[in-house]
Amino acid sequence: MIAGSTLPIAGIFLPWLAIIILSTGLASFSLGLDLTRIKLPLLNRLFLRFLAPFLKKTEDQRITGATYMLVATVVAFLVFEQSVAVVALLFLSIGDPVAALVGTRTPGPRIFGKSPGGTLAFVGVSLLVVLVLVSSGYIQYHWGYILGALVAAGAELAPVPLDDNFTIPLLTGTAMQYSVV
């Protein structure tokens, strides 16, 4: 949550070009590392030895969620207004882990293998992000941010083949870009 929030929070304080350079450099490094380790079994074993606790089981032979998030960060800051990119990325970096924590601990029915409780937690945390950003004066309240929170939670819940670290900020940013701006 903290690592994932670093670039969007930096986006509040740094100019657009600095965020683009920083996020592009990090995304390039991360993608390069992932592609190299997948091709080189020895490097992959070393990578997994140290980072396995932070990875999903399926990421041992594929691009990590962190890389997808970094690539989505670059795209979000290139395509959306900076404040929209910040909000969309914070929805992901805070909402997704909270949804996972709540969802795995919530008994009951599942939708696409996920808990409705986790989805509600995602929406609630996203609305809290909006409240904090509005209270701080970074953004002005607009109903489009509520729409963005709902789209973000829906994107997290939906069984799409792309990693949700990529789809959540891009779908959310699109919804907000066309409703807020």
Q: What is the pLDDT of residues 79-132, one digit of tens each?
A: 999 999 999 999 999 999 999 899 888 878 888 878 889 999 999 999 999 999
pLDDT in tens, 44-90: 777 777 776 666 777 667 788 889 999 999 999 999 999 999 999 99
Q: Is a pLDDT exceeding 90 seen at residue 39? A: no
Q: Is a pLDDT exceeding 90 seen at residue 27? A: yes
CB contact burial 167-180 (16+ within 10 A = b; e otherwise): bbbbbbbbbbbebb
Query: Residues 2, 156, 138, CA angle at the centre, nearest 5°?
Result: 50
Structure-token pair, residue 170:
């891009």
**Could you tell me if 5 and 97 are in contact, meaning their C-beta atoms sit under 8 angstroms apart?**
no
pLDDT of res. 53: 65
Q: Nearest Cα to 117, choosing from 125, 127, 107?
A: 107
Q: Which of 30-34, 35-39, 46-50, 114-118 has the lowest average pLDDT?
A: 46-50
Work out how many domains the chain is built from and give that number. Answer: 1
Cα separation, 19 vs 13, whole angstroms: 10
Q: Calculate mean pLDDT across residues 158-166.
A: 90
Q: Which of 15-19, 87-91, 142-146, 161-165 has the lowest average pLDDT?
A: 161-165
Query: Residues 168, 27, 10, CA angle at the centre, nearest 5°?
Result: 75
pLDDT band with cut points at 50, 70 and 90 for residue 5: very high
Q: Which domain holds residue 139?
A: 2-180
Per DSSP, which regions of 21-89 are E strands?
none
